[in-house]
Chain A
C-alpha cells in the first residue's frame, strides 16, 4: 500500500551522484579501496569501553568554504553538508543554478547534539546543592550558545545544505532512526517515478563520536563494548559501534539525466518499508520476508548489502531471514562503517550502486560464514535496513540495462 516500485509507464529512476564521507575516507575511490582491502577504522580507546568508527578527517573548507557556515553547524551537520556537496559534484550539478534551484531534498536526520560541558556543569552544581527554582533556567540562559539550537534542529541539516550549496527546490526532513533513511529514499523515488519531481538529493549524516548519543543507546544496552568484532560475530557480545558518516545520493529521472548527458551508477528500482511490531520472536523476520517478496527482482546475479546493527535480538532474526536467501551473498556495512543510524540505509544504497557500477561486490569481512565470496558482477543488489529497535526497509538497486 505504501510501496514505491517503478510501475509500467512510470519513470525509471537513476542514481547519478554519490557523496561519501566516512570512517574509511572521503569519496568513492577511498571508500572502495578500504572495502577491497578489508580495512576498518575503529577507535577502541577514545570512548572506552565503547567503540566508535571515527570520521577520517576531511578538509571541510573544500565543500563548506565559509568558516562562518562551519561555525553555525555541529559535526553531524558539517559531515552531511560536506557529503552532500560531494554528491552534487559526483552528479556534475555542483553550482548548476538551473538544476539546484529546483532540486528536491529529502534528508534523514537525527539531531540534538549537546554541549556536554553545559550539561555536566548543571548536574554537578545541582549535586553540590544548587537548588534555587530558577537555577537551571539561569544556567541555560548564560551558558548555551545561541547558535547551538540551530545545530540541534533536525531540519537544519537540510537547511545548511540549502544555504551552502544553493539548493532552492523543496526540503523535507524525516526522523525516526534507521528506517528514516529508507523512507527518505522511498518518498524521493516515488515522487520522481510519478513525475512529481525530476531530481532529488537524498541522504543523511551522523556523528558517532558523541557521548550524549551513547547515553541514549546505553539506556537500552545497545552499545558494543570492549572489543571490536564483525557484526555477525557479536552474538554473545551484542551491540553496535557508532560510526560517523555522511552519505548522499542524487536520484534523477532517466529522461532528466539523459537530457543533460549524465551517466548512471545504477538504477533505484524499488524501496519498501514497514513497521513490525516486534512483540514476538519472528515478527521482524516475517516483515523482512514480506518486503523481500515485494521487490521486483530480476534474474541476474544478486547480492545483499545490509545495515544489520549487531544489536540483539534484531541481528539474529535478520540472520535467519538471510539464510533463506543464501543465493544472495551478504555484506554488513556495520562491520566496515559502524552503525551510522539514519545514514546507514542511504550508505547501503550508495555502496550497492558503486558495486554495480564497478562490476564487483566488495569482499566479505566476517569469520562466521554469513558473508561469502561473490564471483562475477552483481546486476541487482538488495539493500536491507532493519532498525536496532523498530522499523524495516528494503531497496532494490539494479544495473541500468
Chain B
C-alpha cells in the first residue's frame, strides 16, 4: 500500500484513462503495435494539392471524417474520440458528467482558406477589396463560421459533450502545449481543487498555410521521398521536423480518489516543470540554461535524482538545432548517464504533432512503462557523431523502465518536462 501523498505532502496524481490518435491509427492498441513495430505514419499529403511546396509529406490523420472540413473541426473531432477512449478506460463519473475540469491544448484558431475562399467567391466580382469581404460577411449566412472559429469553441464542445466542470481552459504553449495541459491538471489536483481532471491535447492543422509558415522558417524536413524516411531524429542527415496530426487524452485523479473507487492505475505523473527561455522567438539560448533548468525543476518537483530516470522520451524533433541542444542540455543534467539512459523519439514515426505532442508522448511513455518495452527511433541509419545518446535505434528494445522523463520544447521559449512512473514514489 502506497501513501496517497508524495514526499512533499501533496496528493499523488495518477493516470486512470488514456486515449490516443496519430497518423498511425486510432486507439492505444493500434498505435502501440505499430509504434513498437517501427512503422511510420508519414505519407505524401493527399488532402490538398502540394504543387509549389517544398515539403509535401506529413503525418496526417485521414481516417477521421469531418464535414465541412476545417483544421479546427478535425482537431475537435480527434479530441472527442480520444476523450471517449480515455473515459471508457477510466470508467469515471457518469455519461456526460465528468467530475472535474478540462484543460485543452489546442492550436490557435483562425478563419481558414476554404471559408475565406467561399467569401471571396460570394463577392461576385473579379476586383474587390477586403471591405467587400467584410460587407458580405454578416446577415447570418456564415454564423456557423463564427462559432467554428472562436478560440474557445473546441473546449466548449468537449465541455458540453463530456460534462466537465467549471470553465474549460484552452491553452497554447506551442510545441509544449500537451505537457502544459497535463501540468495544469496535476496542479489543480495537488491544490485540492478537484479529485480529477481531464487533460486533452489535439492538433489537426496540416493545411497549406501552416505548412508554408513552417517552411518559411526553414523548420521542416524536405526529404519528401520516401516520406517514411523524412523524420530522422539524432541522425547526421536530419533536416527538420515533419508536421503531423494527432490527439491524446488523459484522465488524471488523485491516488486517493482513484483507489477509493477501485480504478486501475496506469501510471503516476510524478513531476512536472517548465521554464521560459527569453533568448529568441524560435531558438534556444545557446548555453541551454533554460532547458537545463526545466529538467532540473522537473526532477526536483518529482523529488528524484537523475540516476532514478531510466528512460528519456525525447522532444527529438529532428531539426538540426533541437536534437543537438537536447543532447547537450541532457548531458548537463544527467552527466555520463546521458549516454547510458535509453533515449527515443516517437516523432521519427508519428511526426511532430505540435500542440498535441506533449500529451501524445506522455501516453507513449506510460505505455512504455506498462509494456516494459521502448519503441524505436526509426530512420536511425547514420547517427550524428556529436549526439552520444543511447538511442533506441530502429528496433524496439525490452528494458526495465520505472521512470520516464518526457520533454517538450517550443517556439516562444516554451520548455516543459514531465516525469512519469509506474508506482507512486
Contacts and interface: CB of A to CB of B under 8 A. Distances in A.
Given A215-B111, A219-B137, A275-B167, A177 B152 contact: yes
B67 to A, nearest CB: 19
Interface string B130-148: 1101100111101111110
Interface of chain B, main secondary structure? loop
A154 B110 CA distance: 11
Interface stretch (A20-28, A168-176, A242-250, A364-372): A168-176
Contacts of B167: 2, 179, 182-183, 186, 273-275, 391-393
Interface of chain A, main secondary structure? mixed
A248 B49 CA distance: 43
Contact of A171 (B52, B143, B274): B274
A119 B144 CA distance: 21
B212 A177 contact: no
Interface residues of B, number: 88
A336 B59 CA distance: 48
B281 interface: yes
Contacts of A110: 151
A133 B49 contact: yes
A162 B276 contact: yes
A6 B154 CA distance: 30
A163 B281 CA distance: 8
Contact of A149 (B100, B121, B216): B216
A168 B279 CA distance: 10
B21 interface: no
B106 to A, nearest CB: 7
Query: Number of contact residues on A: which range applies?
Result: 35 or more
Interface in A273-295: 273-275, 277
Interface centre among B101, B156, B290 (most CB of A within 10 A): B156
Interface in A77-119: 105, 109-112, 114, 116, 119
A2 B192 CA distance: 10
Interface string A189-222: 0110010100000000000000110111111111
Interface string B149-174: 11110011001100001111111111
A183 to B, nearest CB: 5
A176 B130 contact: no
B106 A175 contact: yes
Nearest to B127: A124
Interface string A378-401: 000000000101111100000000
B166 A119 contact: no
A156 interface: yes
A259 interface: no
Given A155-B173, A183-B169, A149 B217 contact: yes
Contact of B281 (A111, A150, A170): A150
B108 A180 contact: no
B357 interface: no
Nearest to A163: B278
Interface stretch (B32-40, B74-82, B331-339, B406-414): B406-414
Interface string B298-332: 00000000000000000000000000000000000
Given A123-B117, A134-B52, A175-B170, A128 B126 contact: yes
B411 A221 contact: no
B123 A190 contact: no
A216 B149 contact: yes
Interface of A: 1-4, 50, 72, 105, 109-112, 114, 116, 119-120, 122-124, 126-128, 132-138, 140-141, 144, 146, 148-150, 152-156, 158-160, 162-163, 166-177, 179-180, 182-183, 186-187, 190-191, 194, 196, 211-212, 214-223, 273-275, 277, 387, 389-393
Query: Top 7 closest A-B pairs, CB basis?
Result: A134-B51, A159-B412, A176-B152, A2-B166, A220-B146, A123-B120, A273-B167
